[in-house]
Structure 1
Amino acid sequence: MFSSLMNIFKLNKSNNGVKRSWFLVVASLISGMATYAAMTPSGDANKFLILVLLNLDLVLLISLIIIITKRVVNIWSRKKSGQLGAQLHSRVVVMFSLLAAAPAIVVAIFGAIFFTVGIENWFSAQVKNALNKSLSVSEAYFEQGQRQISLDAVDIAGIMNTSGILNNINNLDIQKENNLKKFLNKLAYERNFTEVIIFDKFGNVVAESELSFLFKSERRRALFDLVMETKRPAIDFSSSELDKTISAISPVNFLGNHFIYISKFKDLRVISDINSVKAAVKNYRGVENKKEGLHITFTMVFIVVAVLLMFVAILMGLNFANGLVTPITNLANAAERVSMGDLKVRVPDNNNKDEIADLSKTFNKMTEQLDSQRNDLINTNNELERRIKFTETVLTGVTAGVLGLDKFGKIFLPNRRALDLLDLDKNIHNSYLTDVVPEMSDMFLELKKNNQKIITKEIELIRNKKKIIIITTITAEKNKNKVLGYVVTFDDMTEFFKMQRVAAWSDVARRIAHEIKNPLTPIQLAAERIKRKYKKHITLEPEIFLSCISTIIRQVDGMRKMVNEFSAFARMPVPVFNKVNLTNLVNDIASLSVLSNENIKVNIKVPKRTLYAVVDENQIRQAMQNIISNGINSMIERKNSNKVKNMLTVELKKVKNNFNILVSDTGIGLPENIKDDLTDPYVTSRKNGTGLGLAIVKKIMEDHNGTLEVKNIEGGIGVCANLRFTSKEKINKG
């Protein structure tokens, strides 16, 4: 943890702002300590140095305030703009700034208090009394030393007078001179004197101790002159530490003919202490006179240094917060960009060896792996999409419907044909087969229940009110008895089955026509011959006879018509295409068809411009006659209800390259149970219908590349039949 904290304070070489801030921190600390050191010496400090340091402190303080203000404004603007990490940054900055500044503020407050209390204590009465007493003691000691050396001189003079050593001093022989010197040497030794000298009134040396020659004689002469002037003892007691001795001179007797001079070494340590006490008292009194100004000066200096240190602490807190928050903010920004899909983002590496740096490296490694994996997934997905598109392309060209299912039975790959056959929307992905096509539910569940590989069944569907028949095959894709998915294939077999039925009925019709047509003519001829031959001979109930013969002939005609329809259905002739005026053709057929039905009105709608088409005129005529005939019969079967008018509408239209002949009636309509099978052979809603009319019309439309559409009129009464066909480009000749 300590390593992490230390790394946070490392100088970021790429960040000039951080360089400047740390330079100011170091410079401020050095300047503050130098200012404090310059203010602490006793006596007169170097005022010029203090002034320079104070100016430097102010410059550094202003620089710190500018940098801190810029950073605070930057953090505030980022927070106001809602940038990521600004909230955390501001909280951390406030917290660390307070933590860093609080000690400096507390120290400044207590320092100011202690300084004030200390100043008051320095100049308290107790301190003054102590200093004054110390000065008095030192002065008393000095005076005592002066008195003592003077008393010693007087005392020695008395000793000399009482001892008689000075008798006949003016006429000293060698013996007396030696004795006098011994006496002086003894006094010097016993009393620790450096010099003991006897002068006469003229200042001449009469006798002296043996070490007196080592010392200067200027002081002796000065004292001798002084004693000769005052006729009293004189002393030389200087407080200077340069003078190592003290001396005194005194008359030996009241006559003043001879004088005794003594000297001894000073106690330099005591003299030094006395001088120190005097200097301290002098300085104290000088400072006391400047107390108020000094108090103000020191307080201002202390405030400047304290504020400087406080802003240094705040700047260090800002740097600490930046060092702590910046990597976290970088991580947050990078994480947000990753959430937006940018896996190329990387967190800057600060080359530190702490937990945050490890987290950044781990994040970069993670994004690098995610980016690599995403690229692999994209490549794989592109390959899968390419394969899916290829599969869809292949399936698009398949005429059968195909559904791809996962192992849960959800659809993930339908082809276009499947959507068209089942009338489904494109958005069926992830839908269950059993929900989308419930008709296949039993088949699918049977496959799963019996654990079969494949199952095929015929299924009948109702789509858009139309019945279709599909052959469905469901295949299970397995790997080691584990189902991976299913493939459902199906095809519309409705038309195929119809064609099979048509082919079967054509064969039946051909056989019936062949078997029935042959005896019909003989039967009819025989009936007519019997009628002619026996008409006059039968007298008993001749009406019954004629009625029976007429019935036979009429039924034979009906059977012949039916056989002709069978033949026409079984062997439709090859159409012969010619250019036909469709406008006239529609007018003629519609007008002639209702001549025999006065109760039916016809409404013919044809374009003003004459329409021509290359068609088989006879087949188109036959198709229209069959449709119109069905409409007329339907209106007749409605029994001419007075509530609904019998109206037959025939309309000719051309839409792009298609011709449409629409025939509408107001008849009974189509039964719901057979309306989808009306074009099948032998399917009819009329009692006497053969069920071949619409089948023939459908065959004619197919030969003309067209379709037949028959449906009940929505919201109305009756049926609308639409003959839609195209015009052939070439005309058949021959």
Structure 2
Amino acid sequence: MRADVPLRPMGMAPAVLEPERRTRHFFRPVRVVFLLLVSCLALTFYYTQVVVPGGEDSDSFIPTTSYALVLLLINLDLIGVVVLLLLLSRNLIKAYFERRHRLIGSGFRTKLVAAFIGFSLIPTVLLALVASGLVNKAVDVWFSDQIDRVMRDSYEVARMQHAGHITLAVNSARAISHEIFREDLLLPAQRDILISAMARKRVEFGVAGIEVYSAKMETLTRSLDPDVPAGVLDLPVGQLVLQAINGKQENNTVQEAPTGRLVRAAAPIAASGRGGEVGGVVLVDAYVPESLLAKMDGIGRQYEEYKQIKAMKNPIKAGAYLFVAVITVLILFGATWFGFYVARSITVPIQRLAEATEAIAQGDLSVRIDAKATDEIGTLIESFNRMTTDLQSGKSAIEAANVSLRQNNLELDRRRAYIETVVATIAAGLLSIGKNGIITNFNPSGERILGISADRFHGRSANDVFKEFGLTLFQTLYDRMLVDQRDDLTMDGTAEVEGKFLTIALHGSRMKDEMNQDLGIVLVFEDLTELLKAQKVAAWQEVARRVAHEIKNPLTPIQLSAQRMRKKFFEKASDFERVFDESTNVIVNEVTSLKHMVDEFSKFARLPAPQLVQQSLHDVINEVVALYRGAHKDIELVVSLDEDLPPLKFDWEQIKRVLVNLLDNSIQAMSQKGRLWLTTQYDTKRRRAVVSIADEGSGIALEDQEKLFVPYFTRKKTGTGLGLAIVRRIITDHEGHIQAGNNHPKGAIFTFELPV
């Protein structure tokens, strides 16, 4: 079953583009590796069954240790299996992720492959278990204790056989030597008796030959076995005879002959009537035939090889298990590969159908699928072709509707041009940002206020523009609207743009269409520099008026006290001392109050510039917290510090003063008893350190929230109204922001931010 689809490759979804080509790319290396593996397995079988056994001796039933080539082939087999497993695992993992992402045809392909694996898994595993058991039993029998005992006994018999020949020769030579001495057979008169006696002794002892030599190494007699090859008994014996004569002791030697092995033993014959003298030497030959020698050597060699191979018992088992595992994996691999092959013949038409659907979604209604299938998939493809024909016939109707839409679009363009004209003529600056973060509009008033051409804004990322021109206030408001998903936000602050210092009031609004879909953000800003200058003049005038008023208030009791003392002094009144004490106390208290107020005003008016140093904000917080925990036993301080907060630049003493003022206000609001929460948080997106101080006090009235940081505004009976004004001044000098609100369920919360 196959379907050919004339599709354009442009715009195709990557998940369904050219599936047949990708499938061919997968099956091609699989075929190559599979053929190489089959070849290696065939060579392995040939060498293990034909070459290696054929190179052994016919009488050996234990294999030799020359397995280098076989082990190499086994390693190649293992490598081939691993490569096949990797290829198969790659395709299985690919099928898993396709199934997980719900790609077309992935579910059916997975089920089909799982069915093939399931049908082959049970018999294959049973076969592997049975074969492994048989291999294990066969190897155990091969290297059993009985086999080991038989090999060891055979080796001992062969060794004892060789030692027996030597013992026979030595004992025979000793016995014959004693008999010759006892019978005095070395005398010339006894020569015939010596010859016949030696012939008899050769037969009696069953040796290959007996030779008698005089002390002068003359041959007195030789009795040789005619069945022994003549060349064997003709081996030189002079050295052995000379050693027996000179050493006066028995000697033996083993000589290798072309057709066997000759064991010779020489025994000295004592001379009659001469104590300690050697009268002659008797030489006994024991012959080991070549056939017996070969069997003895073969038994010894087989026993040594058996011990070597027994040491390889576990590797032999491992090799057999490996062979069983290779066959098992090949069966499972064949089932899986066949499952993929069958699934491909079904899923490829489905994927081609998906490609054609994607082409139609991109507007190509001329696409057709040339179906050669005759089953249900072929019926589906025919239905699809009919559908595309119907869609193409309806395209003309859609194009007619497009004409009407174009007219409507022209009307919309006219309205858009009108709106752009309004935007271009308003006095406030306007900057619009699409939901993709690109600046789409920047009006002439904005160019005038900031002194920057609109060409340097249009079509660029808002974050890049704000960073390039140092528009931190714009960046802060934009980030907060994105993070908090706010529809409106207003902020004010200062900015240095192109060398010009501006005080800007900034308002952000989120743009939405009729379907309430997000279109981006509009920033409207105004230059408040001149307005703030006028406000500052008015504010300082108000401050001067209030300072004059605050100074005038303590002067009245000071004046009245001085006048009272003067009157009592001139009247020489009896209660002058009491009046003097009361009046001076009033004067001192009022002067102290006046001095405190002047000091606070002086601190506010002449607050030094912050000395910014890169350091840890948590260190100064911990220092302040330690002071308050020791001084206020009824205050519970709950501290939560963000470990991710990096070091930042700030003035240690000024930030410490901010924390002290805020903590003092909270403690006084709780009447010296309750819980205080001090937390820090690192805003990674805006790169700001956020510090919050919350209490359980009486809270802040709504009408007072905007006046808290105004100089000389206070609700305390003994307050000067400069503490929070100084706090705001310090935070502003650090390019930060502070705000106050009510804590839930009760109390107040002060939050300030510092740039990182």
Q: Considering the TM-score relative to the shorter chain, is it more than 0.5?
A: no
- Structure of higher CA gyration radius: 1
TM range (shorter): 0.3 to 0.5
Q: What is the TM-score normalised by the length of structure 2?
A: 0.34
Q: What is the TM-score normalised by the length of structure 1?
A: 0.35
